[in-house]
């Protein structure tokens, strides 16, 4: 489909699924290299940020080949089409992360407020290592000091939906990524 309508807004196709899949292949290959030393006794923790990163995390799970545990949390700062600037915690970070290697899986990083909040919480939990893996990065907006270790794709500062991303909870199940048609 060239265009879709969600609620009161129209979106046009921006990134076809084939491009997304290739970018995920590349990130997964790097993760496999960097986490090859993981063992069943010392697995990595794949920490999926709900709800948007579910599809990205699922695609990573199909591609990575090192021992890992899947955990989830839900922190958010978006309402409608923009960030509120305030990070709220709906599902807290899981317990028992001390001494673990954690890979934060995000759908998109723009303001970086959520990533900063998560990494701060992980430091308090005394994790061994925390790295950030995001499907999308709005580089022109991201001005935080937290390093983004794995970035599948960089995009301009536009509002998008699809592949896990939503507009007021609609659009997550669309396999391509659509941009607001202004």
Query: Catalytic residue positions?
Result: 110
Query: Rounded distance, CA 106 to CA 112, Å?
Result: 11
SS3 assignment, position 74: strand
Cα dist from 114 to 61, 107, 123, 167, whole Å = 22, 11, 14, 18
The most distant pair of C-alpha atoms in the chain lies apart, rounded to whole Å, by 51
Radius of gyration of the chain (CA): 16
Strand-strand pairing, 68-79 and 82-91: antiparallel
Query: Rounded distance, CA 24 to CA 93, Å?
Result: 24
SS3 assignment, position 49: strand
Query: Rounded distance, CA 44 to CA 35, Å?
Result: 8
């Amino acid at each position: 489909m060239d265009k879709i309508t969600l609620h009161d807004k129209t979106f046009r196709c921006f990134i076809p699924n084939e491009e997304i899949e290739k970018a995920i292949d590349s990130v997964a290959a790097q993760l496999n290299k960097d986490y090859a030393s993981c063992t069943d006794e010392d697995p990595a923790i794949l920490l999926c940020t709900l709800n948007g990163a579910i599809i990205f995390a699922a695609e990573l799970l199909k591609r990575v080949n090192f021992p890992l545990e899947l955990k989830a949390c839900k922190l958010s700062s978006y309402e409608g089409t923009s960030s509120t600037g305030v990070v709220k915690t709906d599902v807290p970070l899981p317990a028992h992360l001390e001494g673990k290697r954690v890979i934060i899986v995000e759908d998109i990083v723009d303001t970086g407020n959520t990533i900063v909040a998560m990494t701060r919480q992980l430091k308090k939990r005394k994790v061994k290592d925390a790295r950030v893996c995001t499907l999308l990065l709005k580089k022109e907006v991201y001005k935080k000091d937290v390093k983004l270790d794995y970035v599948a794709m960089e995009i301009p500062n536009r509002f998008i939906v699809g592949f896990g991303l939503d507009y007021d909870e609609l659009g997550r199940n669309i396999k391509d990524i659509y941009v607001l048609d202004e």
